[in-house]
Structure 1
Amino acid sequence: MKRLLTLVAALCLSSPLLAHDLTVGSLQFIHPHIPQPAASAKAAGGYLAIVNEGSEADKLIGVETDMAAKSEVHESKVDANGVGTMEPVPALDIPAGETVSLERGGYHIMLMGLTGTLTEGEMHKVTLIFEHAGRVEVEFMIDPPMAERMEGMDHSKMDGMQMDEGSN
């Protein structure tokens, strides 16, 4: 039985779903992914964590991909009045010895003018351009849609707020 469990664990860890992390030089790219957008979507967001294991800072200064007519690093913010904005960022600092997360509600890769449908499980190439590391090709996995990933969550207790019964 122990051998069977070891074999199953080894197969899971070697699966393509987990094998798309990448290290180039002193930069490590963790779980580059895009939640599957609706088939009719014209835009999508890309997310990952970038770890700078080096002794010098770097900057993400550009993004290129064939998936979209235009790709940029953006930052989402909510001001004191609760108004959300999203703006392009000309450069994103990647400090030495630190991890920078590109995630929903913060920094992310914005893909505008999608050139085709993105389907769960696909891998798509994105070139990240750094001031010092240069051009790094990273494969982004198309993950399940956000709504699908949130299924099964108990939304009635989110942020300590009680929702009306039947509204989740």
Structure 2
Amino acid sequence: MLNKIIVLAALLLPACFAHAHDYKAGELEIAHPWSQELPPNAPTVAAYFVIHNAGKTDDRLLGVDSPIAPKAELHEHVMQGDLMKMQQVPNVAIPAGGNVTFAPMAYHVMLMNPSDRSLLSDGKRFPLTLHFEKAGDLTVEVAVQKEAPQATTTHAHAQ
């Protein structure tokens, strides 16, 4: 009997970890918040995730904050002429039934002048609170990684 329980636990364990980076606030689901490892002397670090709105009404990400940085901003990359530029945005619309991907070269969170650089190395985690217009506040744990996950590097912010 004990062997069957151990085998069952071993089979179910990966399924538990598969959803360990998913968070929910109302009808919004936030999947796999992550950040790349902070290079030495870098004044900023970016955080990424995917927001899925399973609801029938739009929502809006109004802002973010984290105890590891005195200032956090919502940013996006946009083409202006022949140049790709990064600019701050006041908020991000989350359409009903849609997804918004925060990824390199798309929407992202910029954490300015991080104070606790020890939390920005591979394998560490740090808290990030997202402030939504309708779903309220949701704190997620951002996983710091050496490299970008394959799935999020190919997405742009889509609705």
Structure 2 length-normalised TM: 0.80
Query: 1:56 is paired with a residue of what secondary structure?
Result: coil
For structure 2, the 5+ residue unaligned runs are 151-159
Contact 2:51 2:100 in 1 (8 A): yes
Shift in Å, 1:9 = 4.5
Q: Which residue of 1 aligns with 2:75?
A: 74
Q: Which residue of 1 aligns with 2:52?
A: 51
Contact 1:127 1:136 in 2 (8 A): yes
Q: Name the count of aligned residue pairs.
A: 144
Q: RMSD in angstroms over aligned alpha carbons?
A: 2.2
Distance 2:11 2:104 in 1: 30
Q: Which residue of 2 aligns with 1:89?
A: 89
Runs of 4+ displaced beyond 4 Å: 3-9
Q: Which residue of 1 aligns with 2:121?
A: 119
For structure 1, the 5+ residue unaligned runs are 151-168
Distance 2:10 2:146 in 1: 23
* Structure with larger Rg: 1
Q: Which residue of 2 aligns with 1:105?
A: 105
Distance 2:7 2:104 in 1: 35
State which of 120, 129, 132 in structure 2 corresponds to 1:130.
Answer: 132
Q: Identity across aligned pairs (percent)?
A: 31
Shift in Å, 1:145 = 3.8
